[in-house]
Amino acid sequence: MNFGDILDQWNRRQNLANAKNRRKGPDSGTGGLQPAAGETPGQPEPERADPLSVWLRINGVYDKDADKPEDAGTAESAQERRRRLLTKRADAVLDLHGLTRDEAWSSLEDFFNAGKRQGFEKLLIIHGKGNHSPGEAILSRTVREFIERCPFAGESGHGSAVSGGSGTTWVLLKDKPFSAPGI
């Protein structure tokens, strides 16, 4: 029995209860309930269509679970993928030490394009902490700007103490098709 059948059954019971109350006269304890305008006493009330029942009859009941593919149980959810990738070691590592900003940008483009082409999921970039840079670390800022502009660079963060701490940045690559031009 689906929801539409249950609703129809409930409406029939309500209509029967209302009809019984209307048939009782004013002196039968109904509080003076009179037939509605246009109704003749003793005639059965015309059945009124409940909007929800009408909608259910027209559109039916959609079973979202019936549309699941057979292998849905084996597919990895986005949360499971993220958790797995956060604990995973990087598929490839790029060391930018000693490069200028422009050289680093070019190396990042090549590195990300190659990583995406090869189907890598996680990349590690070693840019250093900027101890030899006046002011803010130039390579660290360059890496951050590149990641913000790269269309298939996803979540990123600084490496752990084992992988270089604030001198490294890891990046999860998005699950989108590869398109090299125009980073």
Tens-place pLDDT, residues 79-110: 888 888 888 888 899 999 888 899 999 999 99
Number of domains in the chain: 2
Are 122 and 173 in contact by the 8 Å Cβ rule? The answer is yes
CA distances from 98 to 106, 147, 163 (A): 14, 20, 19
Q: Looking at the domain assignment, is residue 34 inside a domain?
A: yes
> What is the per-residue pLDDT across 147-165, written as a single tens digit (0 to 9) for each?
999 888 888 888 764 455 6
Report yes or no on 180 lying in a domain: no
pLDDT for position 132: 66
User: What is the C-alpha separation between 26 and 30, in angstroms, rounded?
Assistant: 6
Q: 150 lies in which domain range?
A: 78-173
Residue 113 lies in a domain: yes
> Which of 93, 91, 153 minimizes the C-alpha distance to 127?
93
Across 13-22, 28-37, 123-132, the highest mean pLDDT is recorded for 123-132
For residues 97 and 168, state if they share a domain: yes
Given a contact cutoff of 8 angstroms between Cβ atoms, the answer to whether 129 and 166 are in contact is: yes
Q: Tell me the average pLDDT across 53-58.
A: 82
